């Protein structure tokens, strides 16, 4: 179960996480460590489920940049969650090519099945869902993805979505 953190709760980065940060930073020239910001925010989100203010502040400290530079970036890109989400965030592509092969009915089905509106979290903390823009899988629509590894599910039908949600529930309860 995802441990939802309060905005003010301080976070600690494990030595393993810090060593992953260091590996990312080593890819860029001396003094250009800010380049590591996007990959590091992905690592933080994979670890904590979202990018909280204390986590972003610690990232800023690690990269020796101002906290606002992290907030600016995290709020610009759509992949970083600025509030806690369900353990499984179902992101359904809703752009043109997926839409014409039935993205809207899939989203309506997910909303009905999970019983929560777009962006909300199910009471058990397991699921959230949202429509996202083109995921570059237009030939295999409708598609959805689930972070943090962004596993892809293609050619969705209401049945395959039901099975997917069932499987994820089973996985979480084991």
Beta strands in 2-161 (DSSP E): 88-93, 127-132, 144-146, 151-153
The CB-side HSE value for 28 (13 A sphere, CA atoms) comes to: 15
CB of 62 to another protein, least distance (A): 12
Task: Indicate which single residue of 38, 116, 168, 172 sits in contact with another protein (rule: CB under 8 A).
Answer: 38
Contact by Cβ (8 Å): 103, 142: yes
Do you find a cis peptide bond into 31, omega within 30 degrees of 0? Answer: no
Residue keyed to tokens 């690690």: 62
Question: Of all helices (H) and strands (E), which one includes residue 165?
Answer: helix 158-173
Residue number, 126 or 145, with CB nearest to another protein: 145
Name the segment binding another protein (CB under 8 A); options: 9-17, 30-38, 105-113, 114-122.
30-38
The contact pattern for another protein, residues 103-142, with x = CB under 8 A and - = no contact, is -----------------------------xxxxxxxxxx-
| Angstrom distance (rounded) from CA 15 to CA 48 | 15
Positions in 83-102 near another protein (CB under 8 A): 94-97, 99-101
Annotated binding site for [2Fe-2S] cluster: 93, 98, 134, 138
Residues found near another protein in the complex (CB under 8 A): 27, 29, 32, 34-39, 41-42, 53, 63, 65-69, 71-73, 75-80, 94-97, 99-101, 132-141, 145, 147-152
């Amino acid at each position: 179960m995802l441990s939802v953190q309060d905005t003010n709760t301080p976070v600690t980065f494990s030595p393993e996480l810090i060593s992953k940060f260091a590996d990312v930073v080593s890819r860029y020239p001396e003094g250009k460590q800010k380049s590591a910001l996007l990959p590091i925010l992905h690592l933080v989100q994979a670890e904590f489920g979202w990018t909280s203010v204390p986590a972003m502040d610690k990232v800023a400290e690690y990269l020796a940049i101002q906290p606002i530079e992290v907030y600016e970036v995290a709020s610009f890109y759509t992949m970083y969650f600025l509030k806690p989400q369900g353990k499984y965030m179902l992101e359904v592509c809703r752009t043109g090519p997926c839409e014409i092969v039935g993205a809207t009915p899939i989203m309506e089905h997910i909303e009905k099945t999970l019983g929560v509106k777009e962006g909300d979290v199910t009471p058990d903390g397991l699921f959230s869902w949202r429509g996202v823009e083109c995921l570059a899988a237009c030939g295999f629509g409708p598609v959805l993805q689930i972070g943090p590894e962004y596993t892809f599910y293609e050619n969705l039908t209401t049945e395959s979505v039901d099975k997917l949600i069932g499987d994820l529930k089973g996985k979480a309860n084991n």
